[in-house]
Amino acid sequence: MKSLNNMVSALVLGGLVAMSSSAFAQDDAAPAAPEPDLRAEAAANMGQLLEFVKQGQVTDAKENRAREQRFANAKADQAKMLSDAEAERTREERRSAQLEDTFEANELLVADKQEQLRERLGALTELFGHLTAASGDLKSNLDVSLVSSQYPDRGLFLQDLIDKMSTSDRLPSIEEIERVWYEMLREITETGKVVSFTTEVATASGERAQRDVVRVGAFNVIDTEGNYLAYDNNSLAVLPRQPSGNYTGWANELANASGGLHQFGIDPTGPTGGSFLAAIIDSPNLEERWHQGGYVGYAITAVGAFAFILAIFRVLVLTGVSAKVSKQLKSDKAMDNNPLGRVLKVHEDNPSMDLETLELKMSEAVMRETPKLESGLTLLKIIAAVAPLMGLLGTVTGMIVTFQAITIFGAGDPKAMAGGISGALITTVLGLLVAIPTVLLHTLVNGRAQRIIHVLNEQATGIVATHSEASSK
């Protein structure tokens, strides 16, 4: 009985091991159709348990044979792939050897051809070198030349020629060499011509339109309205700021002329306008210079305008008074509308006055008229003296601002420093421009007033002398 129990235990363990191995086999194998799992059912007796064990062994054997078949197929495929890879490597090694032989043969052939090229070129190598350098210099000149505004495609040919000669396997043709010579001669010839043509011009606002322009050699281009044009990036554009003075008027006359000689301002310092035109354009005009004086300059201008108006007013007044005095000299009767008449009226109203009293009365009358005639002279004299001092004040304050800017930003830009000093000196110029005319106007007004006063003194002295002579008789 004990041995029977041991046998049953062994069979149960064997069944469990078979069931475990079958489960692992099912995990490795491909999915199969579901079968009734008898082992999941409880064994009713020993015979049924043995049947379960037998079925598990059969299933495991079947799965093992399928797995071995798959392993065998995979091994055969890998062997075939390895054979194909080895064959491909062999073919590539043979091809690599052939390419190396071809490369070495080509290197020898290239070296031989290069040697043949050098032998055939001979002295032409130096010639082509000079041609390449000349083409490069000519292209650089044509890129900035005003003539290119009329013939814009010249640089493309030269660039293609330079690229062609930069390679060692291509040579320029006779036609290309002759064209380089032609472009050089055309540039020289066009430099001395004044021609008119139509091209696209950009206005100051950025709009582009077709306009008739006149090219003066390789120096300047103007449109029919007399505006100077700038040539940049293969296009013409109206300068945002035109030169002041007669330059635009001369340009307008030339642009609308059909022939003959005309005065015109050109800039010979550069093919694109140069420094002369830039200096003229950048130079501030009178209004801009006046604004550079700032508030001190405005004050000097106001004082100068007041002095000018006062002097002109006094000149007109004294001219009218002088005319009335001249008319009074021709009259025998004293009139109250002029200083001389009022002085003479003193004697006319008091003919029997004693000599000393008459002399005093006449002197009093002359002195009464003198301030009216000399009115404004003192103010003109003060303005003539104060205007240069105001200009000096503006210059000193401007220099202080300039040196403060130098302290902050440094003196690395002499142009900016010179501009600040130039602006500071404007007030000195304004002060002198006010003082010098004011002195002259003061002299003019004072001369007219002194002439009238001299006539008054002369006539008063004459009346006193006549009265004294009559009294002595």
Residue with tokens 């299933």: 59
- Out of 76-80, 283-287, 380-384, which region has the weakest mean confidence (pLDDT)? 283-287
Distance CA 455, CA 446 (A): 14
Q: Which of 62, 91, 121 is the last residue in one of the domains?
A: 121
Same domain, 321 and 409: yes
φ, ψ of residue 213 in degrees (nearest 5): -125, 160
400 touches 406 (CB < 8 A): no
Same domain, 379 and 357: yes
Instruction: Say how many domains are in the chain.
Output: 4
pLDDT at 18: 40
Residue, of 35 and 301, whose pLDDT is higher: 301
Same domain, 258 and 330: no
Confidence class for position 120, pLDDT limits 50, 70, 90: low
Helices (H) and strands (E) in the chain, counts: 13, 5
pLDDT at 34: 45
Distance CA 152, CA 236 (A): 11
Same domain, 316 and 441: yes
Q: Which of 142, 167, 191 is the last residue in one of the domains?
A: 191
Which H or E run contains 78?
A: helix 46-121
Same domain, 376 and 391: yes
Model pTM score = 0.53
pLDDT at 300: 93
pLDDT at 380: 93
Same domain, 320 and 468: yes
Q: Which of 121, 141, 161 is the last residue in one of the domains?
A: 121
How many angstroms separate the Cα of 315 from the Cα of each of 225, 325, 454? 45, 15, 17
Nearest Cα neighbor of 283 from 271, 292, 293 is 292
Same domain, 407 and 380: yes
Residue % of the chain over a pLDDT of 90: 18
The pLDDT tens digits for 149-198 are 888 888 788 888 888 877 756 778 888 888 888 988 988 898 888 888 88
Same domain, 319 and 224: no
The pLDDT tens digits for 220-275 are 888 888 888 888 777 888 887 888 778 888 888 888 888 788 888 877 775 545 56
41-49, long-range: CB within 8 Å, 24+ apart, which pairs?
46/8, 46/11, 49/8, 49/11, 49/12, 49/15
Residue 88 sits in which domain range? 1-31+39-121
φ, ψ of residue 173 in degrees (nearest 5): -90, 170
Same domain, 223 and 77: no
Same domain, 322 and 437: yes
Same domain, 316 and 465: yes
Same domain, 2 and 60: yes
The pLDDT tens digits for 407-426 are 777 666 666 666 677 778 88
How many angstroms separate the Cα of 168 from the Cα of each of 140, 161, 162, 178, 392? 23, 13, 12, 21, 73
